[in-house]
Structure 1
Amino acid sequence: MARAHPQLITGKLEKLHPTQLTVGLAEVSAKRQQWKKLKRKERSAALESHWFPCVLGPQGCYYIVDHHHFGLALLQEEVETVPLLVLKDLSFVEPMTFWSVMDFNQWVHPYDAHGSRHSFEAIPKAIVDLQDDPYRSLAGQVRRAGGYSKDTTPYSEFLWADFFRGRIASDLINDQGSKLQTQAMDLARSQEARYLPGWAGPIAD
């Protein structure tokens, strides 16, 4: 019988399936550094406050719909299990129906590091196989610096990544220095970005 309400369980991190193609590896690295600084009790508290929302899919696989960066960082730090919040049981539906429901609920983001959409089959089967999108790292860096506010819109930081992707040349994106951040902060607060979730720029007269 399908679960009607979210359920809290524990799952093996290496067996969780992602619902996107990319992460920002610079952001993953930053999360690893944060994790290394935590003591044992602080690590337990961090995990308890970061339930991985997921959907139970065909063949009993769990698909996480958030915390991909944290998940990859934890895998690289050899963490084996994490708490899961099961949002919905779709294990009884056909794969095509499963992905249609995931897409309808905005629980999947099948876009590559160029912002191009792919088929659902292109999504990696494991978190460790996620590819790098440096613009996603930049989007996270700008948010943490106060360039825009955290928003509950699904995959909102990928929207910001696409915004920066069209305005900052690819040969400049790997230079994560102050010049790049200043340019990105100016763009984030510009009127061009006012349609994006969490925009915190000045209101035009």
Structure 2
Amino acid sequence: MNIEQLRPLQATVGMIEVDAKRKHLLAMNEKALKAFLKGAPIPTVIGKNDRHYVIDQHHLARALWDGGITKAFASVAQDLSDLPGNKFWDTVIAKQWVHPYDERGILRALSAIPEEVSGLTDDPYRSLAAFVRDAGGYLKTPEPFAEFQWAEFYRTRIPMWTNELQFKAAVEQGVHLAWSPDARTLPGFTFRGRKSS
């Protein structure tokens, strides 16, 4: 399907994470890229006018857009195209598929969600949360918008960085904070980075 057909169900992404994904995608040859995208379809629900609404993998969708890659594979979780507008939104809210929070972690109206993935804005702490997870700070979990919970946790604890060196230091600090008792209620928490048996 065309990337232009995808409509986000969140307002922000972490652009450092998006850029890392974009570079990874562009480093692949055509065959490898097709195999990768086929193995990582973008989960969607179908809404009004048969529009595909993204329920996960917003970072991948934005990375494809930024990389000029116009096609992707989608995996339809549910067809809600017969629902009237308000009922559609009630359903995606009830299923925790929508996250209309801005780059400061403030809840906004559903109208704040952009019409296309190209309109997703940067929440730097969302990138920090992803890099901390990848560094072993916490475990990946299927809980909806788990990384945003971690982003919110870091927003009040780690000062904003201005360069790559400071970002790396923020990731290190984030890993230590992820293992602290303060983080124990967050999804994917592991005490001192050890998986529980």
Same fold (TM over 0.5): yes
Secondary structure at the counterpart of residue 43 of structure 1: helix
User: CA offsets per residue over residues 100-132 of structure 1, 9 Å max, x none?
Assistant: 100000111111111111111111000000010
Report how far residue 166 of structure 1 moved: 1.7
C-alpha separation between the residues in 2 aligned to 1:158 and 1:175?
22
Greater share of residues in helix:
2
**What letter matches 1:84 in structure 2?**
A
C-alpha separation between the residues in 2 aligned to 1:32 and 1:58?
30
Aligned to 1:111: 101
**What letter matches 1:43 in structure 2?**
L
Aligned to 2:34: 44
Aligned to 1:88: 78
C-alpha separation between the residues in 1 aligned to 2:142 and 2:174?
21
Q: How many residues align?
A: 191
Report how far residue 39 of structure 1 moved: 2.1
Report how far residue 179 of structure 1 moved: 2.1
**What letter matches 2:66 in structure 1?**
Q
**What letter matches 2:69 in structure 1?**
V
C-alpha separation between the residues in 2 aligned to 1:197 and 1:174?
28
Report how far residue 92 of structure 1 moved: 1.3
Q: How does 1:168-187 map to 2 (within 5 A)?
A: 168-169=158-159, 172-177=160-165, 178-187=168-177
Misfit runs of 4+, over 6 Å: none
Q: How does 1:9-158 map to 2 (within 5 A)?
A: 11-158=1-148
User: CA offsets per residue over residues 165-192 of structure 1, 9 Å max, x none?
Assistant: 12123xx334443322221111111110
C-alpha separation between the residues in 2 aligned to 1:120 and 1:181?
31
C-alpha separation between the residues in 1 aligned to 2:170 and 2:42?
32
Secondary structure at the counterpart of residue 111 of structure 2: helix
Is the 2:44–2:55 contact (alpha carbons within 8 Å) kept by the matching residues of 1?
A: yes
Structure 1: segments with no counterpart, 5+ residues: 1-10
Q: Report the CA distance shift for 1:175/1:186 in structure 2 as closer, same or farther (over 3 A).
A: farther
Is the 2:132–2:172 contact (alpha carbons within 8 Å) kept by the matching residues of 1?
A: no
Is the 2:7–2:51 contact (alpha carbons within 8 Å) kept by the matching residues of 1?
A: yes
Is the 2:3–2:71 contact (alpha carbons within 8 Å) kept by the matching residues of 1?
A: yes
Is the 2:11–2:100 contact (alpha carbons within 8 Å) kept by the matching residues of 1?
A: yes
TM-score, normalisation: structure 1: 0.89
C-alpha separation between the residues in 2 aligned to 1:174 and 1:55?
37
Structure 2: segments with no counterpart, 5+ residues: none
TM-score, normalisation: structure 2: 0.92
Q: Report the CA distance shift for 1:111/1:63 in structure 2 as closer, same or farther (over 3 A).
A: same
C-alpha separation between the residues in 1 aligned to 2:162 and 2:137?
19
C-alpha separation between the residues in 2 aligned to 1:145 and 1:33?
19
